[in-house]
Amino acid sequence: MSRQQIAAGNWKMNTTPKAGVRLASAIAKRKRPEDVLVIMASPFTHLAAVSEAIKGAPNVKLAAQNCHQSESGAYTGEISVDMLKSVGVSYVILGHSERRQYFKESNELLAAKVNTVLTKKLKPIFCCGEELKVREAKRHVRYVKKQLKEGLFHLSAKEIVKVVIAYEPIWAIGTGVTASPEQAQEMHAEIRQLLAKQYNQKVADSISILYGGSVKPANAKVLFGQADVDGGLVGGASLKATDFVQIIKSF
């Protein structure tokens, strides 16, 4: 079964609108395999401009890094899915470990955000992943399964196939320490088996599961070469067009 291969860049709180447009244009213009879906998650302030910059580029989509679970209302400082949609956003990253850690986002809250994103016909990129102490205690598989069960498994089979899952071990994010290809494959296979058990094999085989955590041009090929790794969610290396394009070419 061939799943969508995805290279997603999470710019986090980096770049100004001008720099973001320059980065997006450089990536969109560059020759790359057209069957790889490229997603760029820019800060809110430049989503509209980046959307313009990537217009017409084949298989390049725009993502937001978060959204509010309500449609609208008195939520000062927040952003709604309709607002994101109006500026060309197709995907929303949900449950990134930085949101879970610094903004105390729970699986329950994330389940509500997932619903809102899907109701509005956008696609969630749902992040999961364990801290180092959880892995050291050999509880990582159980931990990630709980995140998925509580954040996603209220969805129907028809809904969950619209979700992209990103496995991002926290100890590998922004640290320069990458999970070994075996560690990534082990968790991705566990996630896929869990999807098959909860839904069915066809559903499990159709969902793209991305690895995130210090993906670089030097390690992307071996990570993406694992049977259940369908691409990457890339932080630091997505801020340099040449590095990100090299990662896109690593499938």
Considering only the stretches 21-29, 75-83, 111-119, 213-221, report the one whose residues sit in contact with ligand PEP under the rule CB under 6 A.
Answer: 213-221
3-state SS, one letter per residue, for 15-84: CCHHHHHHHHHHHHHCCCCCCEEEEEECCHHHHHHHHHHHCCCCCEEEEECCCCCCCCCCCCCCCCHHHH
Give the active site residue among 46, 68, 96, 140.
96
- Catalytic residue at 96? yes
Among 98, 105, 130, 168, the one annotated catalytic: 168
Alpha carbon of residue 177 to chain centroid: 19
Smallest gap from residue 213 Cβ to ligand PEP (A):
5
Complex with ligand PEP: residue 33 or 174, whichever CB lies closer: 174
Kindly give, in sequence order, each residue whose CB lies less than 8 Å from that of residue 86, ignoring residues fewer than 6 positions away.
none
Interface with ligand PEP, residue 7, by CB under 6 A = no
DSSP codes, 74-140: S-TT---HHHHHHTT--EEEE--HHHHHHS---HHHHHHHHHHHHHTT-EEEEEE---HHHHHTT-H
Binding map of ligand PEP across residues 220-249, x = CB under 6 A, - = no contact: -------------xxxxx------------
Q: Would you give the binding string for ligand PEP spanning residues 156-185, x where CB under 6 A is met? A: ------------x----xx-----------
Least CB distance to ligand PEP at residue 133 (A): 19
130 noted as active-site residue: no
Q: Which residues contact ligand PEP (rule: CB under 6 A)?
A: 10, 168, 173-174, 212-215, 233-237
Active site residues: 96, 168
